[in-house]
Structure 1
Amino acid sequence: MPGLTTPTTPPAPIQVGQRRIVPIIEAVGPALPARATYPHLAPDQLTALLSVAGPTNTDPSGTYLHMASQGFAILGAGRVILVDTGLGGPKPARPHPRRGLDSRWMSTLELAGIGPADVDTVINTHLHHDHIGWNTTLTGTYLRPTFPNAQYLVTRPELEHATATTPPVHVADSVLPVQATGQLWPCALDHHVDEEVRLVPAPGHTPGHVLVEVASQGRRALLAGDLIHHPLQLRRPDISTALCIDPIQATATRRAVLDRYADTDTLLLPSHLPIGGYLRRDGDGYRLAPP
């Protein structure tokens, strides 16, 4: 899609105690159509909320939401953990996982000083196509796990939901090859990766959707997955997207998480916001204060 930009400079790390969080941005720009993403909002309400969110959060016409596609690396304590792997590169059934995008996510990972063999853990917050794309890489005619030494974590409810019937193409090409090598590990929704990194259950967007909390030496960050897709959901936490499998549960989850972390020193880093921030209450909703 015209207007998407890809990074060309090394990503800036965020220090959280002894851990460093590195946003690995794949692309930023006009992504989802606003009205199709929030179909339950009347057009005038949507226009008003987009206006309040500011011009940097939509394209100039107000038609598309301005969003990021990104994952995160968590470094330190002898670990290299990746959280979500973006849209990905060419696959046999999906030569162009996103029209108009030649993903350089792996190059950005390299700019951060991380090679595929360095990664010991990959966490997929959920199994939508834009969070698992670089789980695998096409080598010749075969799809292989991109990170040969990594254990890939997916929650059991998420994997069961994604494979209950014929798996969608993105699961078939980005999850099943990992399962075939024995690197896929179904885990609990509240799994602790180590003493400072844990999963936080956040069902609703998908049945096994999770967030990732990093807490180290009195500092805390929350990698918030698809808890929100756009800042308008901070102002109106009751609004879920058309992408949410259970919008009622997604709303309840969003309210509970935002209430738990608001007005604390927790840095909120949603997957689809180019820049996160500190969550602050603002009237009946919330806003992000600059990090």
Structure 2
Amino acid sequence: MSVVALSEGTFTVDLSKKLIPFNRESDSLNERKGSLLIEICPFLIISNEGLIILDTGLGKKTVNGEFQIIENLSRAGINSTDINFVLLSHLHHDHAGGICYEENGIMNPMFPNAQYVFQKEELNDALKDGNPKSFNHQKLEFLSHWKNSHAIESNTQLTPEIYCEVSGGHTEHHQVFWIKVSENEKYFFGGDVLPQGSQLIRKFIAKYDYDGKRAADLRIEFGKKCAEENVTLLFFHSPEKKNSKVKFNEGRFELIANS
């Protein structure tokens, strides 16, 4: 497979939207009432058209002082300067926190040679939103002025391999990505519309979504399409399976291991 998971770790989150690190060996979810267990997991896709990052995560550092996403890439033999595309599903801080970093009072791109791709209206809405729990406005201001930022409007065939589809649902201008590495290797990244495989199995309407009903309907729509076209789904927030193919039989989804 041409995909690498770049996990920043496991966390719990509650209605306050605060992410608290979760150690599977020493922490208990029962002690964190009202909290959801999530992963923060950007992805790298190695394609014929270059190296693609799908969402950037929190931009958190390790105990060694290195950015987790950079350390993860290094393990795969890849430098931050090698990345060609950064595709952003939306701009909540847990998905876009790694777009840049501050050093000596100056914001610098995490991936200096990459084209940063996002929906123009997603950025406009995020800059208007005054909630610091959802957005890092300093980083979004950087994104709005960075020379390699590529603000798109509506569905876009970015390259022959990369298709950006506006979904809405989680945020009004949230987008998902369809990436075709080859005829036999296709990927779907649903951001926070389809962040965990379990959300295909357990149908629900989430209160944290901009349009919960639309997001719920889209999960079914995208899941069916992935099943029909043999597409691998990538899950940003899944503490278990980071990627999976899916079957749809008799009105039910089944996650299946990639061969």
TM range (shorter): 0.7 to 0.9
The aligned runs of 1:270-281 (5 Å cut-off) are 270-273=235-238, 274-281=241-248
- Name the residue aligned to 1:5: none
Q: Deviations over 1:32-80 (max 9, x none)?
A: 34xx59xxxxxxxxxxxxxxxxx9xx95538543322111112232412
Mapped to 2, the partners of 1:120 and 1:247 lie a distance apart of 33
Q: 1:230 to 1:195 in 2, by over 3 A?
A: closer
Letter matched to residue 58 of structure 2 = L
CA RMSD, 1 decimal: 2.9
Mapped to 2, the partners of 1:218 and 1:166 lie a distance apart of 44
Give the SS at the match of 1:175: helix
How far did residue 166 of structure 1 move?
4.7
The aligned runs of 1:92-131 (5 Å cut-off) are 104-131=68-95
How far did residue 187 of structure 1 move?
0.6
Q: 1:131 to 1:260 in 2, by over 3 A?
A: same
The aligned runs of 1:222-241 (5 Å cut-off) are 222-237=188-203, 239-241=204-206
- Structure 1 gap segments, 5+ residues each: 1-13, 15-19, 38-54, 91-95, 97-101
Q: 1:157 to 1:178 in 2, by over 3 A?
A: closer
How far did residue 243 of structure 1 move?
2.2
- Name the residue aligned to 2:254: 287
2:176 counterpart of 1:211: yes
The aligned runs of 1:1-291 (5 Å cut-off) are 14=1, 20-28=2-10, 30-33=11-14, 61=30, 63=33, 64-89=35-60, 104-166=68-130, 168=132, 170-219=135-184, 220-237=186-203, 239-273=204-238, 274-281=241-248, 283-291=250-258
Mapped to 1, the partners of 2:242 and 2:180 lie a distance apart of 20
Conservation of the 8 A alpha-carbon contact between 1:59 and 1:66: no
Q: 1:124 to 1:178 in 2, by over 3 A?
A: same
Mapped to 1, the partners of 2:28 and 2:225 lie a distance apart of 32
Q: Deviations over 1:62-100 (max 9, x none)?
A: 85433221111122324122111001137xxxxx9xxxx
Conservation of the 8 A alpha-carbon contact between 1:89 and 1:137: no
Aligned residues: 241
Segment drifting more, 209-218 vs 227-236: 227-236
Mapped to 2, the partners of 1:160 and 1:256 lie a distance apart of 27
Letter matched to residue 149 of structure 1 = N
Mapped to 2, the partners of 1:139 and 1:167 lie a distance apart of 24
Mapped to 2, the partners of 1:154 and 1:138 lie a distance apart of 21
Q: Deviations over 1:240-273 (max 9, x none)?
A: 3232111122122222212222354111112112
TM-score, normalisation: structure 2: 0.81
Conservation of the 8 A alpha-carbon contact between 2:81 and 2:111: yes
Give the SS at the match of 2:222: helix
Give the SS at the match of 2:168: coil
Letter matched to residue 287 of structure 1 = E
Q: 1:148 to 1:106 in 2, by over 3 A?
A: same
Report the identity percentage.
22
Conservation of the 8 A alpha-carbon contact between 1:119 and 1:149: yes
Conservation of the 8 A alpha-carbon contact between 1:138 and 1:144: yes
Conservation of the 8 A alpha-carbon contact between 1:21 and 1:72: yes
Letter matched to residue 85 of structure 1 = T
How far did residue 231 of structure 1 move?
4.1
